[in-house]
């Protein structure tokens, strides 16, 4: 089931990231006469609806389980993504991206809820690592396939094949997934959960700030990394696809490996909060190496630094989500996951748009890289000083 959830993530991230490959293509940019600001706006459009619907989708999974809501969403977002092939104007592209964000909004709350209610703490890091590896496999696979299809058939066929093709996932999903006893069971003592009690703990503020830091860099990579490689470092389209794929594969490998290693340490008696927090903070610190690209004239060094930074961020991937579940036990996990993912996807709006504006204003990518460094350092500070076990409230307090 964890593998199936990861495959769902892979397909969702293929659909949401192939636009960034198209935006690095001269033909696509020329078709729509896209400025840097327009590219930033298009990259952020998906996250407007996606972020807004996170908590409502968390409620749906808490109330109705995973199987049926997810199946409906899979089919819907696949059709929407395929329809990009018919777009002829900027507003049509923007509308499609808004609808795609709405369709994919169920993915994280549903997946996190299933893991939280079915996987014990001692195995949860690996489970979350496998899950979110799909979010790295998607861009890696999507980058290579999108480049091949654009060069062979053009961008319209690329969207039709990669976007619409995801709909076939509905078949194995409905055949294999069973919600089990957790479906339809509301978490907590009373079931009528309120998010109000959660805000009384400093932990939630540290978690949300750290989530913003992680995902600001993550969404820069998802939306601007291909263009960064092509425009800042003059990589040809084919080489860009390979480097983008390797970057995300490295991130996936460290996500799975660090989740498994953290689980092993916990099973051997190490405190869960300390272990997961160490991996989370360490990953954000290593990700700060992205700044090398703003301080060097060496293309090889800059590309290598980008790949190492993304691999470092993989150390954080499994453990920052598992850490939330460890510290916030007893709360409605679907809604908590929705709240955390809402914060993460506010950066999906901010990072692409701010990056586009900074490139337009400065003419290069140095200012966006300095912005990434500042946000990552904020995340390190938040996790060190706010995400502490002594600040976590007892589970029953989330329901007062």
140 in any annotated domain: yes
pLDDT, tens digit (0-9, with 9 covering 90-100), for 104-154: 999 888 888 888 788 887 888 888 889 988 888 888 888 889 989 998 999
User: 34's torsion region: left (phi>0), alpha (psi -120 to 50) or beta?
Assistant: beta
Report d(CA 103, CA 344) in Å as an integer.
17
DSSP state of 396: G
| pLDDT, position 192 | 37
188 in any annotated domain: no
Ordered DSSP codes for 299-311 = HHHHHHHHHHHHH
Judged against a pLDDT cut of 50, whether residue 220 lies above it is answered with: yes
Helix axis angle for 333-362 and 202-227, nearest 10°, is 40
Asked whether the beta carbons of 54 and 338 are under 8 A apart, the reply is yes
CATH code, domain with 371: 1.20.1250.20
pLDDT band of residue 261 (cuts 50, 70, 90) is very high
241 in any annotated domain: yes
pTM for the complete prediction? 0.74
Write down the residue that tokens 């869960």 correspond to.
272
Judged against a pLDDT cut of 50, whether residue 351 lies above it is answered with: yes
**pLDDT: which is higher, 348 or 87:** 87
Q: Residue 276, SS3?
A: helix
Of the listed ranges 140-144, 154-158, 249-253, 358-362, the least confidently predicted one is 140-144
289 in any annotated domain: yes
| pLDDT, position 268 | 92
376 in any annotated domain: yes
DSSP state of 392: P
Report d(CA 157, CA 161) in Å as an integer.
6
Q: Residue 53, SS3?
A: coil
Average pLDDT (272-282) is 93
| pLDDT, position 329 | 61
Asked whether the beta carbons of 57 and 338 are under 8 A apart, the reply is yes
The neighbour count for residue 36, using CB atoms within 10 Å, is: 17
155 in any annotated domain: yes
Of the segments 14-18, 51-55, 290-294, which one has the largest average pLDDT value?
290-294
Q: Residue 269, SS3?
A: coil
Average pLDDT (230-249) is 86
Report d(CA 76, CA 258) in Å as an integer.
34
184 in any annotated domain: no
207 in any annotated domain: yes
Name the residue range of residue 250's domain: 2-178+195-399
Of the segments 43-57, 93-107, 329-343, which one has the largest average pLDDT value?
93-107
Judged against a pLDDT cut of 70, whether residue 272 lies above it is answered with: yes
Of the segments 104-108, 120-124, 386-390, 393-397, which one has the largest average pLDDT value?
104-108
Length of the chain: 400
Number of domains in the chain: 1
pLDDT band of residue 179 (cuts 50, 70, 90) is low
Report d(CA 213, CA 205) in Å as an integer.
12
Report d(CA 75, CA 78) in Å as an integer.
5
**pLDDT: which is higher, 153 or 343:** 153
């Amino acid at each position: 089931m964890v593998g199936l959830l990861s495959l769902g993530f892979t397909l969702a991230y293929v659909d949401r990231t192939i636009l960034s490959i198209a935006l690095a293509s001269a033909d696509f940019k020329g078709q729509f006469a896209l400025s840097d600001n327009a590219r930033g706006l298009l990259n952020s459009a998906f996250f407007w609806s996606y972020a807004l619907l996170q908590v409502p989708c968390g409620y749906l999974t808490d109330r109705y389980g995973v199987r049926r809501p997810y199946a409906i969403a899979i089919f819907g977002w696949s059709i929407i993504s395929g329809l990009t092939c018919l777009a002829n104007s900027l507003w049509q592209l923007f509308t499609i991206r808004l609808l795609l964000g709405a369709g994919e909004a169920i993915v994280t709350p549903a997946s996190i809820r299933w893991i939280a209610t079915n996987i014990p703490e001692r195995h949860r890091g690996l489970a979350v690592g496998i899950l979110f590896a799909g979010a790295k496999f998607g861009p890696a696979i999507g980058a290579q396939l999108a480049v091949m299809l654009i060069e062979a058939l053009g961008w319209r066929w690329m969207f039709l094949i990669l976007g619409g093709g995801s709909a076939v996932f509905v078949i194995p999903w409905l055949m294999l997934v069973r919600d089990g006893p957790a479906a339809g069971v509301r978490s907590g003592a009373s079931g009528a959960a309120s998010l109000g009690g959660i805000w009384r703990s400093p932990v939630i503020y540290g978690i949300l700030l750290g989530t913003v830091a992680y995902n600001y860099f993550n969404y820069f990579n998802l939306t601007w990394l291909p263009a960064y490689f092509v425009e800042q470092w003059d990589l040809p389209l084919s080489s860009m696809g390979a480097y983008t794929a390797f970057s995300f594969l490295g991130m996936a490998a460290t996500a799975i490996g660090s989740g498994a290693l953290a689980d092993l340490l916990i099973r051997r008696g190490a405190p869960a909060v300390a272990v997961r927090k160490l991996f989370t903070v360490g990953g954000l610190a290593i990700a700060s190496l992205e700044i090398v690209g703003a301080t060097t004239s060496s293309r090889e060094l800059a590309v290598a630094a980008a790949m190492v930074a993304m691999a470092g961020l993989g150390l954080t991937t499994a453990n920052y989500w598992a850490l939330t579940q460890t510290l916030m036990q007893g709360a409605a996990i679907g809604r908590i996951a929705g709240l955390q993912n809402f914060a993460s996807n506010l950066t999906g709006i901010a990072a692409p748009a701010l990056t586009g504006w900074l490139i337009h204003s400065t003419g290069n990518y140095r200012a966006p890289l300095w912005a990434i460094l500042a946000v990552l350092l904020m995340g390190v500070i938040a996790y060190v000083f706010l995400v502490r076990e002594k600040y976590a409230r007892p589970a029953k307090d989330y329901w007062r």
